[in-house]
Each structure stands twice: as C-alpha cells, then as structure tokens.
Structure 1
Amino acid sequence: MFLGLDKLQVLELSDNRITVVVTNNYTNTSLPTLDTLSLSLCNLKEFPAFLRFQNKLCTLVLDHNNINGLVPVWIWNNSRETLELIDLSFNSITGFDQHPHFLP
C-alpha cells in the first residue's frame, strides 16, 4: 500500500473509525520509516507488528483503541533515541512486558 512513498514521514489515520488490519508478519516491506504515526480510533486490539521496524519515531499515538494487555518491550527499544511522545490512553493496558529503564 505504501510502496514507493520513501519520503513519507507522517501517517495520520486517526478519527476515521477505520479498522487497521494487524498481521503477525514481521517483515517490513511496505511502510517507510516514519517520524509520526497516529492510529487513534482504529479499533486496534494489539500493538501492530510493523511497529517493530519503526526505529525513528518521534510521536506514536495509539489512543482510543481496544489494545489489551502489556506494552511490549520493543516499543521502548525501537525509538530509544527519537521518541518524544507516546499516547496509549483509553485502552486496556495492564502493565509493561518489561519496565523501561529510561523515560524518553
């Protein structure tokens, strides 16, 4: 879907009541490295696997979804040097897979 958009830095799909299909495919063949990703109100039930490959994120917004369970450790590790804002509000987060050793 995003092939050829190598210069894309911001992807904002929030507040459209769309459903983002999350697969367990751990390859990143179609999404460029983003600075900002906002997927509010996208009916997500888990952290999208493609986030594992987003190592330059400054802003990650996943609020108002249906994400359950623990925040995976790779969320903190991927964008350790660049992450400035992460919004996970209005989900059913129960804790952290591993507590972050730093605050971004």
Structure 2
Amino acid sequence: PGSGSGEERGVLPRACEEVFEQIARRRSEAEESGRALQVTVLVSYLEIYQEKIHDLLSASNADLQVRIHPVLGPHVPSLTESPVSSMNQVQELLDFGSKNRIV
C-alpha cells in the first residue's frame, strides 16, 4: 500500500516513517543527556473482509477474533507481530501483506 514516492505514498508508510523519525529524535535526546533508549517496534497487518479478520503476514487461515483487553483496548490474539528496526523492513512487510489481500 502506497509504496509510491512523495505524496503518492499511502497513510501506512507515512505513519511508520513518522514513528521511526520520533524514535530517532528521542534516542538522540536521550544520548545527549547520557541515557540510553531502548525501543521495540512490532508490525501487524490485517484485513477485515466480509466480517472476517485475515492476518496478511501469515499463510494461516486461522479464525481470528477481536478481543477487548481492559488496559490495551481492542486487540487480535494470535495476529502475527514482526519486529522491525527500519522503514525498509516495514515496507517489505507491507508489500508482502498486500499480496495476501483478498480485496
């Protein structure tokens, strides 16, 4: 989704770029004050089609359900979560997941 350039990019790549820019900014601020900042970014990618949830990062057709966690709010147990450390890794996952879309 939105693997174009500039204004042609979709909302997902732009949002993820903003996340990595914020991490870099905060990491720099932490280093300036002699602290270390450890961050873990996990990517999931799902599609809801005909009221069914599809994990776009998994070949499995498991029956996924939205659950409400008292602290975290809505979440999907068993949804694939892939750790990433760069925008390139995110884009690879978005490209992979887009190929698995039903619509």
Larger radius of gyration: 2
**What is the TM-score of this pair, normalised by structure 2?**
0.19
Higher helix content, 1 or 2: 2
Report the TM-score, using the length of structure 1 for normalisation.
0.19
- Higher RCO, 1 vs 2 (CA within 8 Å, ≥6 residues apart): 2
